Amino acid sequence: MKESTLRLEPEWVEFQIADGVYEHGDRGSGYHLEDDVTIEDGIAQAAFSLTGRVIWSQPYLEDQVANGTKIVIKGAGFVPYSRKLATSDLAPTTLVPKDTVGDVLAGNAEIKGLFGKPVFNHPKPTTLLKYLIRSATSADKDALVLDFFAGSSSTAHAVLGLNAEDGGRRKFMMVQLPEPTPEDSVARQEGYLTISDVSRERIRLAAQQIAGQNTPLDLGGQWDIGFRSFSLVDTNFSKWKQSSDVDLSDLEQHMLDLRESSSTDDASPDDLLAEILLKQGYSLTENISPTEIAGLDLRSVLQPGGDVAVLAYMDEHVKPTLEQLRAIVDADPSRMILLEDAFQGDDELKTNLVQLAKSKNIELWTA
């Protein structure tokens, strides 16, 4: 949601803050006053403009006001709330009491408690999310919780906290576009260039905080507070590259710029293997670990029982010998993956490997 500016007339606004002069500028809440505001007897003495991430447009605001809606300012942050005159035909705004599940103020306090500063505006309180997650996963404490609009990753924070409370082993998957933080925001000043940067750091800080507040016994013995983070980048293999002439939005162009700024020439062996595994239908959470066979550095992908599902050799700079390849085959993986460039044009070596793999019923992939 992009920032926009609303012009507010004095009679439209109900103030629940002290009388006085509130200077124009950033209010530390995600909102920016464009004018000084003088409040006397709870009423602004002149019209003023307020900039922030608001859903309403100016024409819609004026239409709502004409139908009896009041804008309510509850604090010095000048966060605008709406109160409609007639609500009988509207859905209820509260399904559970806020003294049970908290409100946006509690969410803001959690962010400030973790980061020391309000690096994200209007996060959902983890008390609310834990209430909802507990309701949905009461019969399955090993559930996977998905949030495709993660924001600051309040949901991940809630999952970690709920697991600590009831001994569950729920997992989470957060998805967040790398939307840039506003240039003059607290998040940008603290070095968080995108919302996804804030999201990753919150998960890390929340895990550290929760682990520090509980004993290993409270957490059910061993408790994994690690997580994996994946970013969408362009493919590392030219044969899979695609181009498009479609007009891009600002966010899409930002994502494209991010991909282009990360050179695929510097892709690590793990980057290459992750992309190949995804193309072959493996998940993002496979158990991948480095291993050495006959002096070669490989990556192994383990099956749940511990057997080797895949052995991958991703070094294009060191050509393996036939003896080294035979040692990999003797390790008896279900599948072998090698970079085509690792053969360095030696078709005879590749042909011999094909025959060795076939003799052991090993599926061989080259990329």
pLDDT tens-digit series, residues 213-253: 765 545 554 555 678 888 877 676 655 555 555 555 665 55
The span from the CA of 187 to the CA of 194, in Å, is 8
What is the tens place of the pLDDT at every residue in 16-62? 999 999 999 999 888 999 999 999 999 999 999 999 988 899 999 99
Q: Residue 44 is inside which H or E element, if any? A: strand 43-44
Task: Name the residue type at position 258.
Answer: L
Contacts for 26 with CB less than 8 Å, ≥ 6 apart: 32, 184
Dihedral of CA atoms 306, 308, 314, 319 in degrees, nearest 10, equals 130
Average pLDDT (1-17) is: 91
Structure tokens at 124: 């959902």
- Is it the case that residue 280 has pLDDT exceeding 90? no
The span from the CA of 237 to the CA of 14, in Å, is 59
Say whether 173 sits in a helix, a strand or coil. strand
Per the prediction, the chain carries an average pLDDT of: 85
Distances (CA, A) of 316 to 246, 293, 364: 35, 16, 17
What is the tens place of the pLDDT at every residue in 194-209? 999 999 999 999 999 9
Q: Which residues pair with 80 in a beta bridge?
A: 73
Domain ranges for the chain: 4-83, 98-213, 269-366
Structure tokens at 4: 């926009």
Evaluate whether 200 touches 174 at the Cβ level (below 8 Å).
no
Evaluate whether 301 touches 330 at the Cβ level (below 8 Å).
no
pTM of model > 0.85: no
Q: How sure is the predictor about 263, in pLDDT bands with cuts at 50, 70 and 90? A: very low
Number of neighbouring beta carbons within 10 Å of residue 100:
9
Evaluate whether 76 touches 27 at the Cβ level (below 8 Å).
yes
Phi/psi at 342 (5° precision): -65, -25
Dihedral of CA atoms 206, 211, 212, 216 in degrees, nearest 10, equals 170
Helix axes 126-137, 104-115, angle to 10 degrees: 110
Span of 110-114, 149-153, 276-280 with lowest mean pLDDT: 276-280
- Is it the case that residue 81 has pLDDT exceeding 80? yes
- Is it the case that residue 67 has pLDDT exceeding 80? yes
pLDDT value at residue 274: 83
What is the tens place of the pLDDT at every residue in 155-211? 999 999 999 998 899 999 999 988 899 998 999 999 999 999 999 999 999 999 988
Q: Of 96-110, 175-189, 267-281, which has the strongest mean pLDDT?
A: 175-189
Where do runs of H (alpha helix) occur along 214-346? 250-261, 269-279, 322-330
- Is it the case that residue 302 has pLDDT exceeding 90? no
Between 203 and 92, the more confident residue is: 203
Share of the chain above pLDDT 70, in %: 84
pLDDT value at residue 134: 92
Distances (CA, A) of 360 to 301, 311, 334: 18, 14, 9
- Is it the case that residue 91 has pLDDT exceeding 70? no
- Is it the case that residue 264 has pLDDT exceeding 50? no
